[in-house]
Structure 1
Amino acid sequence: MPLRIEDYALIGNCEGAALVGLDGSIDWMALPRFDSQACFAALLGTAENGRWLIAPAVPVTKVTRRYRDGTLVLETTFETAQGTVQLIDAMGRREGHGDVARLVRGLSGSVPMRIEGVLRPGYGTVVPWVSRLADGRVAAVAGPDRFVLDTPVELHGEDLRTVGTFTAEDGSETPFTLTWSPSFLPVPDKLDAAETIDLATRQWQRWIAQHREDTAGDWVGLVQRSLVTLKALTHYQTGGIVAAPTTSLPEQLGGPRNWDYRYCWLRDATLTLYALLTSGFLEEASAWRDWLTRAIAGSPDQMQIMYGIAGERRLEEYELPWLAGYEGSTPVRVGNAAAGQLQLDVYGEVLDAMYQARRLGLAPDDNGWHLERALVGHLETIWRQPDEGVWEMRGGRKHFTASKVMVWVAFDRAIRSVEEFGLDGPVARWRKTRDEVHAEVCAAGYNAERAHFTQCYGGTALDASLLIIAMVGFLPADDPRVARTVKAIEERLTEDGFVKRYDETANIDGLAGGHEGAFLPCSFWLADNYVLAGRLDEARALFERLVALSNDVGLLSEEYDSRVGRQVGNFPQAFTHVALINTAHNLSRGGGPAQHRAQN
């Protein structure tokens, strides 16, 4: 059975990723890309679906772990009655290869150790053909994939597993490397585990040195961990940032809300740009902006809410019935059918992202404004339609209030781009539409009897996406309607002080019943609303409670279930870490992202 979600830590090489458990087992790994078919899938099934364990062969009395400062190099220390041993994990990248380096160091005593490797490409189904190479390495081949394992430890096959034992003594070092490469190309050269780990350490520390620490206030360490996580989920060639490196980790333990997050969402664009630019990472922000422009290029009526890592559009969703699901949470899904939904808010996200890129000093993109004008022109023809909403509802299209607010943002940012940067556009017509959208939202999206904005036009239900109203400048934070909406969310959509997206028992998402955890990005948004309303002590207190939910190495998933005291949802979640960075910036200085976006 897999560990708790928060018992895992991420390693990666800005192309693929793996999750390492407190027990020394890699239970999820996808190479060469984040969205490749996992070769270790025990996280969503059992050990028979693939894992790589290196751990003491005797009872462990204590486990501690940490990342090397500013890196994604993981150090796990096991204490036993026989002594103490450290396992160091990192990933490297050679052109056309994906490398995993693991190094066992004996710190004291003499500790018996064991290794168990179960390679199962194809999401835990394919048993590869294993052979010994002339140089002593072990090769496992399955169709297009080849994995080469190298270690001085004597290994042997046992029940379709590769196993071995060794002893970690005081001062000893035992290396392990695993390299993916295409099976039809020559076998890759040998890899030195210690050198790979040292190189990864230097590269990560050189990258994080660009961070503008003055923007992070009292939370430099937390912000840097979030930035490293965001970088780890960024593809080094395309600039695309995946929402998470996992699929089907449940929003509801044992339930059906299990989605594939190994793709790039347009909704994340603006907040991600803010987080990167205000932290000093201009190159990454530019790459993300360029990815965004390439992905949405083409006919405006074909813009999607998400794309593949390189901008792929076809993300067909299907199920993997042979995987039992994380703690029985089924179905396990690959692909994401929400890519075909109509979500009007993404137009606002894209136009806001492009506007903020200009305002924050990114070099202009010559084709960008032509594309933006085309998108606004198309939005003029469709904005009155219902859509699936910010949360990708599968219960039918409605007039979601937050979607219409973001429609207003699209026209507002287009107008401001013309007025502030001298671009060309039909501003008078756009102003008329912007005013029409604003009036409609205030009339149809606000329930005077309930005294708050509602999830849908003419409805009564609340939705945490309404927290964006002040954040994007649709209305000021001190507007009574906004204040009452925030108060209603506090009273009816919080659980243990954290914010839920909506009332899932109402079956508005097409998945009846169950219990979803609090949505961590929305909880950070509530803190941002406190900042905008001048409630700084409350904002800081909520932020401190949220970051306290991080696991022992500073990682957060999508949601937190306070009923069981556990993180839930795909992990680690880029959107959550982006929200953490931006809220830290909002609290640390007078002109953070929330204040900038809210300015009219």
Structure 2
Amino acid sequence: MSDYKPIGEYGIIGNLETVALVGDDGSIDWGCLPTLASRSVFARVLDPDGGHFSIEPAASYESEQTYLEETAVLQTTFETASGTLTVTDFMPFVGEDDPTNPEVQGIYRRVACTEGTVEVDVSFAPRFDYGRADSRVEVTDKGAISSGDGTRLFFVSPADLDVDDAGDATDEDPTATGTVELDADETRWFVLQYGMEVPTDDERCEELLERTADYWQNWTHQCDGDCGLEGYAHDLVVRAGIVLKLLTFRDTGAIAAAPTASLPEVVGGVRNWDYRYSWIRDGAFTTRALVNLGHEREAYEYVEDFLEISKEQDPENIQPVYSLDHQADLEEDELDHFEGYRGSSPVRIGNEASGQTQLDVYGELVLSVYHLAQSRGELDDDDWDAVKGIVEHVCEAWDRKDAGIWELRDDQRHFVHSKVMCWVALDRALTIADEHEFDAPVDEWESTRAEIEEATVEEGYDEERGSFTQSFRNDQLDATVLMVPMSGMLPFDDERVQSTIDTVWDELGRGDGLLCRYEEDPLPGEEGAFVLCSYWLASCLALSGRTDEAWDVFEAANGHANPLGLLSEEVDPETGDLLGNFPQGFSHLGVVNTALYLKGVEEEGNEVADPLGVNSLGDRDDAGRGSISKS
């Protein structure tokens, strides 16, 4: 097994069409072009021969990565014995209202020597279609042209290039290499273009860098004012917001769960999934976080997008996950020629979870509509009709078994979390109907809501364990039961809720603010701690009035972010290594939501209104918590 970089030693750049991973050694080891849904061009993060694009000093060095403040512009600084070099990486993005401009599509890499003299090595090794296509590289007077899998890339390089030392463009999997020496205050631009080849000069590149930085800084500034979070992990929250934005696909408004595929949940294990798709659940979580940072546009586009899907088909046929361009077929395949990150196989692309039944997604979708309607103060009649159709299906289907939020691939079960979210679908739809005076079968919906609540409380709570459990009439713990109070089904001062919080923390906690998702998994091997679960716990503690404990968990969880403020899906409790797809949207929205909870509780005390809208249930009890009493 070859050497691999720790996942935490990568940063990301992107342009709302695709995302690339850039290591602190200056190597782009993951990138799909032209969109995130495309086959990879660079995939060395999954196999040594998967393809890369590296720029680094020829001599030994120490390096550090930072972002330009409040942007997605990444800088890697190299310190060598002879001088200092900074590589600035970005994908141009100059505004969502501008049409897609092929003249600025690409990866731009500004290489500047700030002190002394530095010799720089360049290695350009595209491997199209996950390394399966015949990849060609041909040197030109401007740099190189590469092709494969019907794609052409244009590499502008100020360094003279050779292809495999022989310049033979017919060699299998060729690599273009070159060296350039820079003195203090000298700058060179390396540009990888796709779509079309256009003239590039230093002045144009500098302009694009400035405009891209301006875009991101203007976008992040929208979270100032009432949402200001100084003192509440502000910088990490801002970074989380940028990550969530980078996961959005501007053509459709869809939101990817993560920009990578098959990074393992346990090194050497089989939990290796492709997350470059739009889960209704993940997107719904994300839009609520973005709205609370002042970014309503993203939420509106996402909700409208999936409501259109709801209008076009029977709600029963709505999939839990779609491609970013809304294709339904996500056929799962295994790349047998890839060894996988640190020997973690199989390497999967596609995701068969698209064919599962996951009842909780209906609640997530309705909750997003509710939250957006609260923010905008209105909801279209056509959108309400789509919501009614979803809720009518929930009334018919809530008591079925499903695969659940964790998409377990063994027998389906009556998952408590799925029932809770079915309850949410009815509860929020009733609130929308009341507040916006929409026609609805109120008596029927209220009766079904009460039926779901009764079944969940009676069959989902284990008196001996003192906790709600993963599914009806079993005793396995699952961190998703923290959604029972977060949904508003039960108030936080309910004894069963407090006992559940303590039991989950005691039994699933792994120290240092980490929690596992559940106790048992049908797949072999143990997985890491799931980062989002830590933020759920911190949120529950905060809304229970246990703010000191909430801060302890919140700050410990934040401590697992890499130096750039990026979080993976999971963390190895023993080593602290980041695991799973990276960066993970779930983890970053957890940062945002928990910070908002803490701010709301500490600034408004017992009168706090839930800043996320997940407990806005009409009447509230004296402690400011959601009441289960409905009229």
Deviation of 1:104 (Å) = 0.9
Q: Structure 2 counterpart of 1:468, which letter?
A: M
Q: Which 5+ residue runs of structure 1 have no aligned equivalent?
A: none
In structure 2, the residue matched to 1:126 is: 133
- Identity level (%): 38
Q: Structure 2 counterpart of 1:316, which letter?
A: E
Q: Distance in 2 between matches of 1:374 and 1:80?
A: 63
Q: Do 1:528 and 1:594's aligned partners in 2 also have CA atoms closer than 8 Å?
A: no
Deviation of 1:132 (Å) = 4.1
Deviation of 1:194 (Å) = 2.9
Q: Distance in 2 between matches of 1:454 and 1:369?
A: 34
In structure 2, the residue matched to 1:217 is: 230
Deviation of 1:213 (Å) = 5.0
Deviation of 1:189 (Å) = 4.0
Deviation of 1:162 (Å) = 0.2
Deviation of 1:130 (Å) = 2.6
In structure 1, the residue matched to 2:110 is: 103
Q: Do 1:582 and 1:593's aligned partners in 2 also have CA atoms closer than 8 Å?
A: no
Listed one character per residue, the Cα deviations across residues 565-595 of structure 1 (whole Å, up to 9, x for unaligned) are: 1111100111111111111111112446567
Q: What are the residue-to-residue correspondences of 1:98-497 with 2, within 5 Å? A: 98-133=105-140, 136-158=142-164, 160-181=174-195, 187-190=197-200, 192-215=204-227, 216-218=229-231, 219-297=233-311, 298-361=313-376, 363-496=378-511, 497=513
Q: What are the residue-to-residue correspondences of 1:74-89 with 2, within 5 Å? A: 74-89=74-89
Q: Do 2:21 and 2:28's aligned partners in 1 also have CA atoms closer than 8 Å?
A: yes
In structure 1, the residue matched to 2:613 is: 596
Listed one character per residue, the Cα deviations across residues 5-56 of structure 1 (whole Å, up to 9, x for unaligned) are: 110000001101100001110000011111210100100000x220011001
Q: Do 1:532 and 1:594's aligned partners in 2 also have CA atoms closer than 8 Å?
A: no
Q: Do 1:213 and 1:220's aligned partners in 2 also have CA atoms closer than 8 Å?
A: no
Q: Distance in 1 between matches of 2:417 and 2:59?
A: 55
SS of residue in 2 equivalent to 1:193: helix
Q: Distance in 1 between matches of 2:7 and 2:26?
A: 14
In structure 2, the residue matched to 1:501 is: 517
Listed one character per residue, the Cα deviations across residues 446-488 of structure 1 (whole Å, up to 9, x for unaligned) are: 1122221111111011000001111110101111111111111
Q: Which moved more, 1:472-481 or 1:584-593?
A: 584-593
Deviation of 1:299 (Å) = 1.3
In structure 1, the residue matched to 2:55 is: 54
Q: Do 2:255 and 2:283's aligned partners in 1 also have CA atoms closer than 8 Å?
A: no
Deviation of 1:206 (Å) = 2.1
Q: Do 1:132 and 1:139's aligned partners in 2 also have CA atoms closer than 8 Å?
A: yes
1:577 to 568, 573, 588: 588
In structure 2, the residue matched to 1:36 is: 38
Q: Do 1:64 and 1:77's aligned partners in 2 also have CA atoms closer than 8 Å?
A: yes
In structure 2, the residue matched to 1:523 is: 534
Deviation of 1:127 (Å) = 3.8
In structure 1, the residue matched to 2:90 is: 90
Q: Distance in 1 between matches of 2:230 and 2:490?
A: 28
Q: Do 1:524 and 1:543's aligned partners in 2 also have CA atoms closer than 8 Å?
A: yes
Q: Distance in 1 between matches of 2:207 and 2:224?
A: 29
Q: Which moved more, 1:103-112 or 1:213-222?
A: 213-222
Q: Do 2:162 and 2:178's aligned partners in 1 also have CA atoms closer than 8 Å?
A: yes
SS of residue in 2 equivalent to 1:43: coil
Deviation of 1:220 (Å) = 2.1
Q: Distance in 1 between matches of 2:457 and 2:346?
A: 40
Q: Distance in 2 between matches of 1:234 and 1:596?
A: 22
SS of residue in 2 equivalent to 1:431: helix
Listed one character per residue, the Cα deviations across residues 108-154 of structure 1 (whole Å, up to 9, x for unaligned) are: 11111100110111012334233345x53421121420000002211
Q: Structure 2 counterpart of 1:36, which letter?
A: S
In structure 1, the residue matched to 2:549 is: 538
Deviation of 1:288 (Å) = 1.7
> Is 1:6 matched with 2:8?
yes
Q: Do 2:515 and 2:529's aligned partners in 1 also have CA atoms closer than 8 Å?
A: yes
Deviation of 1:198 (Å) = 2.3
> Is 1:562 matched with 2:573?
yes
Q: Structure 1 counterpart of 2:82, which letter?
A: Q
Listed one character per residue, the Cα deviations across residues 42-99 of structure 1 (whole Å, up to 9, x for unaligned) are: 00000x2200110010011x21221001111111110011111111111125534731
Q: Structure 2 counterpart of 1:232, which letter?
A: L
Deviation of 1:362 (Å) = 5.7
SS of residue in 1 equivalent to 2:109: strand
Q: Which moved more, 1:441-450 or 1:289-298?
A: 289-298
The change in CA–CA distance for 1:366 and 1:189 in structure 2 (over 3 A counts) is: farther
Q: Do 1:156 and 1:164's aligned partners in 2 also have CA atoms closer than 8 Å?
A: yes
Q: Distance in 1 between matches of 2:9 and 2:226?
A: 31
Stretches of 4+ moved more than 6 A in 1? none
Deviation of 1:214 (Å) = 4.2
Q: Structure 1 counterpart of 2:75, which letter?
A: E
SS of residue in 2 equivalent to 1:450: coil
Q: Structure 2 counterpart of 1:75, which letter?
A: Q
Deviation of 1:275 (Å) = 1.3
SS of residue in 2 equivalent to 1:123: coil
2:523 to 511, 517, 529: 511
Q: Distance in 2 between matches of 1:485 and 1:201?
A: 45
Q: Distance in 2 between matches of 1:35 and 1:332?
A: 16
Listed one character per residue, the Cα deviations across residues 248-290 of structure 1 (whole Å, up to 9, x for unaligned) are: 0111111000111001111124432321112111212211222
> Is 1:19 matched with 2:21?
yes
SS of residue in 1 equivalent to 2:387: helix
Q: Do 2:419 and 2:452's aligned partners in 1 also have CA atoms closer than 8 Å?
A: yes
The TM-score normalised by the length of structure 2 is 0.90
Q: Structure 1 counterpart of 2:161, which letter?
A: L
Q: Distance in 1 between matches of 2:4 and 2:38?
A: 21
Q: Which 5+ residue runs of structure 2 have no aligned equivalent?
A: 94-99, 166-173, 618-631
Q: Distance in 2 between matches of 1:213 and 1:125?
A: 50
SS of residue in 2 equivalent to 1:207: helix
Q: Do 2:371 and 2:613's aligned partners in 1 also have CA atoms closer than 8 Å?
A: no
Aligned residues: 588
